[in-house]
Amino acid sequence: MQITFTTESSSDTAADCAVEFYFEERLTATEWTEAAGTPLHAAAATARFRGNSQQTFDWLAPAGLKANRFLGVGLGAEGKSDSIGFQRAGALVAKRLIASGGESVFVDAGPGAGKLDANEAAAHAAFGALLGSYRFHLYRTRLKPDQKPTLGRMIFRAADPKKAQKHFTALAALAEGVKLARDLVSEPPNILFPEEFARRCEALTAEGVEVEVLDVEAMTKLGMGALLGVGQGSVRPSRLVIMQWKGGKKKDAPAIFVGKGVCFDTGGISLKPPGGMEDMKGDMGGAAAVTGLMRALAGRQAKANVVGIIGLVENMPDGNAMRPGDIVTSMSGQTIEVLNTDAEGRLVLADALWYAQERFKPAAIVDLATLTGAIVISLGHEYAGLFSNDDDLARAIEKAGKAEAEPVWRFPLGAAYDKQIDSPNADMKNIGRDREAGSITAAQFLQRFVKEGQAWAHLDIAGMAWRANAEDPLIPAWATGYGVRLLNRLVEDHFGG
């Protein structure tokens, strides 16, 4: 999508469609609509268009516009409008017009609202349009002509195009990161297996990210028996990828993001039931978010030191697969009795977390994982679960999630929950008691691999990495790219820029 900013109005700019944003109950038009005369307003009133949030109004373009079609988009109340509101309005425009037959659109996002000036409002609308125009059509070879995207050019009105472009440049990098995360989650598991995922990470070297890939031999030497145990039932070898973005001061300790990258989760010998198992191609959503973040940081030349570490495995049932009852030794030296091979994500993260602390001196560690079905029962698809041993870090994550419309809800941790994963046969077992507090006992397991005094947070994104159908125009069908925007904001506001 080509995005440009201009001071011109819709009466001077040729485009297939002209769009104007409206605040609720304020159909006061900007100059060009007024020049176009009152029939537009009459038609809007007849259609009961009130400028409510996400309300739209479609019309033939009134005389005087160099467009064939007119689209009004509601922003809701001016006092409540923020960057997310402009993003959603921009996304709605893209969604409505992407396969409309039109090739270009002119958007007047209006004067801004509150702390957001007109240039920022235009930039956020353009960012929303990028997120909203996302499609995953790589494997659709028989799309009919009217199903194919036609929209390729969006022109946004801005008081100062240079300023708007500057705001947009950082947001466009972020959109690239979100797109990468969505693509990774969408790819089928026969295409995106650990080695292929690692190759896609290596492509980020072109953006200035330092990328290292550890193979099975290297991980064996490091003693990563937990991660390797999960992968041993697959013919596709496991990988650990370390991605570094060094945009901060040399002495600044890095923020580390760790991702669960189970490229497919059959459950292993504790096999999952067949219904919906195909969704488990998205069980690498945590790793995808971390990879998307690294892309975004490099794209916007972030002034922060950030390390992304992702554990990539495939969890398969096989003659060589781990059995329930097996005891594996993690890199930390702690032994784990594997009572359910479907509780595999925590095994992968255990070694990735330990590696992060052995190799670096992290300012903080945040892991992201599609870890438990229990978190979907608790929170549905509206919040990710947050678990942390550090109130400042937890607050910063909550704040970032709120600002980016990727909200989190904090859960407790505690000794009584921790006790549930004690085992008489090894240092711990990989599941708790029955299904009680399943998301919390999973987090307790992870915490056993976090060193004393190390600030750490865990985000259980099992309900957020994908969803059947979202009402939010920023979110496409299925893969959401959840986490990239939250982490990017966290790095910007809390870890140096």
Which residues here bind Zn ion, judged by CB under 5 A?
262, 265, 283, 345
By the 10 Å C-beta count (0-12 exposed, 13-18 middle, 19+ buried), 271 is classed as middle
Residue (214 or 343) nearer to Zn ion, CB: 343
Least Å from the CB of residue 398 to ligand BES: 22
For residue 256, list its beta bridge partners: 307, 365
> Which of 135, 153, 200, 272 is labelled catalytic?
272
Question: Minimum Å distance from CB 358 to ligand BES?
Answer: 25
Instruction: Compare residues 307 and 338 and give the one whose CB is closer to ligand BES.
Output: 338
Candidates 342, 406, 418, 492; binder of Mn ion (CB under 5 A) is 342
Nearest distance, CB of residue 343 and ligand BES, angstroms = 4
**Strand bridging mode 69-76 / 56-60:** antiparallel
- 422-460 burial: b if 16+ Cβ within 10 Å, else e: eeeebbbbbbbeeeebbbbbbbbbbbbbbeeebbbbbbb
- Ordered strands of the 327-329 beta sheet: 327-329, 335-337, 428-429
Minimum CB distance to Zn ion smaller for 283 or for 460: 283
Query: Which conformational region is residue 122 in: left (phi greater than 0), alpha (psi within -120 to 50 degrees), or beta?
Result: alpha
CA distance 284 to 160: 41
74 class by beta-carbon count within 10 Å (0-12 exposed, 13-18 middle, 19+ buried)? buried
Report how far apart, in Å, the C-alpha atoms of 238 and of each of 215, 228, 368 are. Answer: 7, 7, 19
Nearer to Zn ion, 311 or 476 (CB): 311
Residue whose token pair is 């978010």: 289
344-381 b/e (C-beta count within 10 Å ≥ 16 → b): bbbbbbbbbbbbbbeebebbbbbbbbbbbebbbebbeb
162 and 22 in contact (C-beta within 8 Å)? no
Distance of CA 272 to the CA centre of its chain: 26
Q: Is 485 a catalytic residue?
A: no
303 has catalytic annotation: no
What's the min distance (Å) between Cβ of 283 and Zn ion?
A: 4
Out of Mn ion, ligand BES, Zn ion, none, which partner does residue 438 contact, by CB within 5 to 8 A per kind?
ligand BES
| Contacted by 84, from Mn ion, ligand BES, Zn ion, none: CB < 5 to 8 Å by type | none
Distance between CA atoms of 125 and 123, rounded to whole angstroms?
A: 5
Rounded CA-CA distance 211/203 in Å is 9
Compare residues 93 and 384 and give the one whose CB is closer to Mn ion.
384
User: Does residue 370 bind ligand BES (CB under 6 A)?
Assistant: yes
Binding flags for ligand BES, 229-258, as an x/- string (CB under 6 A): ------------------------------
Q: Kindly state whether residue 374 participates in binding ligand BES, applying the rule CB under 6 A.
A: yes
Closer by beta carbon to Mn ion, 341 or else 388: 341
Tell whether residue 460 is a contact of Mn ion (CB under 5 A). no
Structure tokens at 108: 């007047």
For ligand BES, how many residues bind (rule: CB under 6 A)? 16
Catalytic residue among 95, 157, 281, 346: 346
Tokens representing residue 38 in the block: 């009152």
CB of 340 to Mn ion, least distance (A): 8
**Binding string to Mn ion for residues 298 to 337, with x set by CB under 5 A, is what?**
----------------------------------------
Nearest residue (CB) to Mn ion, 341 versus 447? 341
Binding mask 229-268 for Mn ion (x = CB under 5 A): ------------------------------------x---
Pick the stretch among 63-71, 87-95, 297-305, 368-376 that binds ligand BES (CB under 6 A): 368-376
Pair of tokens at residue 206 = 């072109």
Which residues would be at the binding site for Mn ion (CB under 5 A)? 265, 342, 344
Which residues would be at the binding site for ligand BES (CB under 6 A)? 265, 283, 340, 342-345, 370-374, 376, 431, 438, 462
The catalytic residues are 272, 346
